Amino acid sequence: MVGKVVAPHGVRGDLRIFPDTDRPEIFQKLDRIFIDGQIYKLVSARPHKNIYIFHLSGVDTREGAEHLVGGMVSVPFGELPPRKSGSYYYFQIIGLSVYEQNGNYVGAVREILQTGANDVYVVRVPDGKDICLPAIPSCVLDICLEEQKMIVQMPEWEGNHED
């Protein structure tokens, strides 16, 4: 998923899309998208404040756009611009199992926060709580997409929490 339809925009069928990617500018390079599995030709995409405005072929009225509100926007992986080595799309990170170097299971990445300085991975641990791991090389040691696994060095403040 690279975004979500949040509202219609205007009366000509445009859609307001909230991007769920750190590179929303990719939208301007795409020819097609999927909304909840249905394929649409992307006629135009432009930034507008903190969202993007999409115009899709075949969606020409506000009523048509309203039917898509809440839909999840996705793109075939092969059509996404490649990332440089060691850089990932958010959807590739969300859901990864997180382990310490010694093999201890930490939890699973459930969210990514953009802080400005660096991203922060929100990891749901087995007791149902969340911990935050900075997405920096001293903390995130390795990411293996084939194994759906992230190896981390736990920050000092997230160390052993025995009460």
Q: Which CATH class, in words, describes the domain spanning 3-79?
A: mainly beta
Q: Output the pLDDT for position 115.
A: 82
At 70 the pLDDT is 96
| pLDDT, position 161 | 46
Tens of pLDDT, residue by residue over 68-105, are 999 999 987 777 777 788 888 888 899 999 999 999 99
User: Class for domain 90-156, per CATH?
Assistant: mainly beta
Report the distance separating Cα 76 and Cα 154, nearest Å: 34
SS3 44: strand
Q: What is the pLDDT of residues 25-69, one digit of tens each?
A: 888 888 999 999 899 999 999 999 889 999 999 999 999 999 999
pLDDT at 11 over 90: yes
Express each pLDDT in 133-152 by its tens digit: 999 999 999 999 999 999 99
Question: Domain boundaries in the chain?
Answer: 3-79, 90-156
> Are the C-beta atoms of 41 and 57 separated by less than 8 Å?
yes
